[in-house]
Amino acid sequence: MRFALMTEPQQGLSYDEQLGLARLAERLGVEAFFRSDHYRGFPGPADQPTTDSWTVLAGLARETTKIRLGVLVSPVTFRHPGAFAKVITTVDEMSGGRVEVGVGAGWNDAEHAGLGLAFPDIKQRADLMEDQLAVLHGLWGAPDGWSYRGSQLTVNGAVFWPKPVQRPHPPIIVGGEGSPRSLRLAAQYADEYNISSNPPDICRDINARLDEECRKVGRDPATITRSAMVGLLIGADEAEVRRRVADQLAVVAAADTDATAWFEERRPRWISGTPDEARAMVARFEAAGVQRIMLQDMLPRDHEMIELAAAQLIGR
């Protein structure tokens, strides 16, 4: 099993805090450091400070040396796909070829409204995401003069230089929960499909359906990596687990949410509990065909938990 550390900096993390997490993960031998792409705080109060994901990644690219860096996922509604291709390529160059890019259709209406960003219905967003994936492949891989006419985007006579450091392009991750369209797009365009917030048995079903979509387009299913974003909350013993559960509940309760209900609904699909319990859950995901787990850490200032995860999960 491969592991990445997945963070949610919309919980009020400064750039320096994110740099500290990336450097910690790098020191511990974690394969990759990922962050979300949000402009509104959660879980917890909505007015927590937030930062731009790709600006942060550009900084991390210059202040780390080995760890891979990614965003999971960037909503297509946040950045024009053509400009987005340039942003990714620039950060890929700045990192020496360590960038991974997750793309999605977006879902948080409130953060769009608060910044004046358009938030069309899901069909329009999915159409734009399909255009984005085609444009990324075309700008990065097609010869000069490439043109494209999609449902919402038109490209005429593209001349796109420099190309990404990683060839043929940085790994593209399509994120989702197994919708037919997300699986079709992943089979056609993605290097990795990331299942968000689902238990192992659902992951097994989604992976089987992705196999079928790959076969429909003549692609070997083994050529697409299967990953899952999974909540992390572990302790060295039962007492430490209870303390961290209390810490997590306090974070969620700050948003006037029923914290206990929020956590209990998620806990069965998280990697949680003592190290033995956590490893047993990892084994269940592995049996379901998951090859990489994004350890979603919602207690990011608790560096001791990250060190424990590295020692008890990644170190094994």
Q: What is the CATH number of the domain that holds 49?
A: 3.20.20.30
What CA–CA distance (Å, rounded) separates 270 from 209? 23
* β strands within the chain, DSSP E: 2-7, 32-35, 68-75, 99-104, 146-149, 154-158, 172-176, 192-196, 225-234, 271-273, 292-297
Tokens 């993960």, residue located: 25
- Could you give the CA distance from residue 297 to residue 165 in angstroms, rounded to a whole number? 30
Query: 45-85, pLDDT tens digit by residue?
Result: 888 899 999 999 999 999 999 999 999 999 999 999 999 99
Q: Answer whether 231's CB lies under 8 Å from 278's CB.
A: no
Quick check: helix, strand or coil at residue 200? helix
Q: Residue 107: which pLDDT band, with cuts at 50, 70 and 90? A: confident
Is the pLDDT reported for residue 37 higher than 90? yes
Confidence category of residue 316, pLDDT binned at 50, 70, 90: low
Parent domain of 284: 2-314
| Burial call 148-172: b when 16+ CB within 10 Å, e when fewer | bebeebebeebebeeebbbeebbbb
pTM of the entire predicted model? 0.95
Confidence of residue 256 (pLDDT cuts 50, 70, 90): low
Average of pLDDT values for 109-118?
91
What angle, 0 to 180 degrees and rounded to 10, lies between the N-to-C axes of helices 122-141 and 81-95? Answer: 50
Strand partners, 154: 149
pLDDT tens digits, one per residue of 139-179: 999 999 999 999 999 999 999 999 999 999 999 999 888 89
Count of domains for the chain:
1
